Structure 1
Amino acid sequence: MFRSLFRSTALLPVLMLQACSLTPGMEMETNSPLSHIEVPTMKDGKLVKEKAPIIPITADLIIEKENLKQQASMNSLPTDSTPVTPYKIGPHDRLQITVWDHPELNDPGSEKIDPTLAGKTVQDDGTLYYPYVGNIPVAGKTVDEVRESLTQGLSRYFKKVKLDVRVLSFQSHRAAVVGQVKTPGVQSMNETPMTIAEAISRAGGVTEEADTANVTLARDGKLYKIDVMKLYEKGGMDQNLMLKDGDVLNIPDLRDNKVFIMGEVGRQQALQIGSGQRMTLAQAIAEAYGVDFNSSRPEEIYVIRTSEMKPEIFQLNGESPDSMILADQFTLQPHDTVFVGTAGVTQWSRVLNQILPSSFTSVMSRAAFMGM
C-alpha cells in the first residue's frame, strides 16, 4: 500500500514538469529587441508582417518623444489658410435674378412660382440659362461678376438694363460635421466664411461624451488634429480655422480614450483618459493598485502601442524605485496596453494549482481511504 502510494507521489514532479512545459505563460521574450510574434505593420503604404521593436524607456527616449510632440503641434494645422473672399457660385446653387422694368423676364407667363422653387439653378457643368442670353458660365464667379455678364448679354436686346442677382440657396460649397455633436450632418456655406466654432454651433454644439481636445479635420486627403478645447477654454484662435468645401470635421467619442492595464498588477482594468488630460505610465500603474512585486517581474513592464498600424513595444525596467521618475514622464496614448510580466515562480505556482486537484488530491484521498 505504502509502496503504491510512494510510486504515485513520486510521479508528481514528472507530471508537474510536463504540465509546466505545456502550459503557456503570459510573458514576452526577454533580452530581444523584437517582439516574439509577427504583427501587421504598415510599411511603404502596404500592410506587411513584421516583428515589432521593443524599445527601452530611457531619458533619451522621453526627450525625443517630447521634442517630436512639440514639433508636431507646430505643424499640425493646414498651411493653406483660406483667405476671406466673396462667395464663389457653384453647381446646384439657386440664383434669383431681377431685371427692373421687365416683369416678363422676372415672371414669365405671369405664373406664380413656389418660393422654394423660385430662381434658377446652376447646372452640373457650372452654366446658367437665362432668356435672350442663353447658357452662360457662372461657376467660380461672384455675384457681381454674374451680374456684369447678364447685363452685357441683355444689353444687346434692351436699353439701360438694370438687374440684381442674389443667391437664394447655397448648395455648392458644403462641409460635414460628424461625431459627438447634437445634430451631425452636412452644412452649406454662404457668403459668411464658416469657421470650426460656427460649424460646431450650427450642429447644436458638442455632447457630454465629446473629446474636444482631439478633433480631426479631413481636408484634401490629409488629417489634421484640432484642439477645440484650447479654442473654447483658452481662446486659441489659431485652432478656429475657416472651413473649405469638402472638409469633414469629426468630434471623437471620449469613451474611446482608454488605456488597458494587464498582467501582475493589483487590479486589471481599462482606464479612461479625460478630454485634454494626460495620463502617464506611473499614473496608470497607481490606478491599477500598483505592481504586485510578489508575483511580477518589475524589470518587465511593457507599454504596447498599435496606433496607425505601426506597432511599438516600450519596456521599463522597474527594479529600481527611481525608475518611476521615467514612468511618470512617459505619456500614454489612447488604446495603449500596459502589461506587467509574471515571475517564473508565479507561473510555477499556477501550474501546481492546475494539476494538484487532478493528481495530488486524488492520491491523498486514496491514502485517507486506506487509513493513513
Structure 2
Amino acid sequence: MLPKSVLLVVFAFLSACSTIYVAPDVPKNDEHVVVVPVSEQTISTYNRSGYTPKSLPSVFFQSAGTSGTLRGAGTLPESSLPEEQRPSTLRSNVPVEPRVGPYRIGVGDVVLLATKSSRNSVEELSGLLAAQNNRRGYTVQDDGAIAIPDVGRVRLAGLTIEEAEAELFQSLVENQIDPAFSLEIAEFNSQRVSVGGAVRQPGVSSINLTPLYLDQAIAAAGGLAVRDLDFASIRLYRDGTLYQIPLQEYLDNPDMQRIRLVASDSIYVDSEYELDKAETYFGQQIQLTTVRLAARERALEELTTEISLRRAELDEQRSNFQARIELDGVDRDYVYLAGERSQPSRYTLPFGRQTTLADALFDGNGFSSETSDPSEIYVLRAAPKKGHQERVLALHLDAEDATAFVLATKLELRPNDIVFIAEQRVTRWGRVVNQLGPGLIAAAIAAL
C-alpha cells in the first residue's frame, strides 16, 4: 500500500491537472435530445422525409449516336436503250441453283420488337418507341445497327433472326431491361431484285423469309409485255455473269420458271435478240449501284465524323465536370462521420440514388471494431424545434447482435446527418489511464 504522503501527492496532482480525458457521448436523459431506437417501424417513418439525391448532368446520359434515314444519290436517270439488230439464234444459258441459307438482316430492313402484351409493341420494353413512316419498328441504319432507347446501338446487319435475338437478349440484359421479347422483320428492304425491259411495271421485288423465284418476280412487275415470243428472251445478270433464257423455253418449261433468285439479281425481259441491249441495261445497273455505294460511303464518313465530334464534345464536358468535383467546385450533399472511426471524416452522398447507414459505416474509413461499441451507433439529425429550443433526433442502432446491421441497410441518410459511434467503456478507461499514468508515476516518485 502506498504511503500516505504518496497518496496526498497523487491527489494533489489530480486536483491541479488542467486536462482530464472527456469522451463524447449521446445524452439519454436530455430534453433537447430525442433518442429513438432503430426498428422496421421507425425506419419506415423516417425514410418518408423528402430527399431527392442530386443528379448527374444530362451530358452523362447522352449518346454520340445519331439517327436518320439512308442517304442516297437522289432520283436515278431513266434507262436509255438504243434499237439493235436481232441475231439469228438464241441459246439458253441457265444459272446453277444458288446456295442460300437463312435470311440475314441488312441495311434498310425494319425490325419489330414486341413484348407479350396485346399491344404487340416495344413500348413496355423500354418505355419509348422508335418509329419510321408510322411503323412500329427500328430501321437498320447505314452502319448496320439499330438505336434502342435506354440500350444504345445494337448491330444486326449480317445476322440471322436467331443470331439477332441472341444479340438483343445480351444487350437488354447488360442494360438491366427485362429481355422478354420477340423479333420479327416488318419490312424487307435490304435484299432486292430488279426487273426491267418488256414488263408492264418495271421495278424491284424484295426477298424475304420465303424464296423468290423468277416467275414471281416477273408477275410482281405486272407480267410480260412481249408481242413476239420468237424474238424475246429473259436476261439474268448475277455476280458478273449474264444468263439468258429464250422466252418460249421459259413458258414451256416449269423448271425455268422456278429459278430461285438471290439478292442483287437483275432481270431484263428483252424483246430483241441482240445481247448488247441487255448488257447496256445491266451496265447501267452496275453504274447506278456504284453511284449508290459511293454516296453511302460519303454518308458514312460524314456520320462517323459527326459522331466523333459529338463524342469529343461529350467527353470534354464530362471531364470538366469531374475536374470541378475534384476541386470541390460542385455543390454536394454530405454526411459527417464521428466517434470511434479510423478517422473523423465526411461521406459524400452519391448522385442519383439514396444512401443508407450501412453505406456510411462500411466505407473506406469504416468504424474501428477494436475500440467502438456496436451497441451505441447513432444517426444524429436536426429535429423540429420545441418552442424556441433546438432539438436533436438520435436514431439509435443497437448492433451488439450482428443481425441488427440488416436494419442499417434500410435506414436512409439525409444531408448533414452525423453518424456517431461511441467508444467501449474499457477503451474509455484505458485512455484515461494512458492520459494520467505518466503524471501519477512522476508524482509518486517525487513523493518518495
Give the shorter-chain TM-score range.
0.3 to 0.5
Q: Give the alignment's TM-score, normalised by structure 1.
A: 0.44
Q: As a proportion of its length, which structure holds more strand? A: 1
Q: Give the alignment's TM-score, normalised by structure 2.
A: 0.37
- Which one has a bigger Cα radius of gyration? 2
Higher relative contact order (CA 8 A, sep 6+): 2
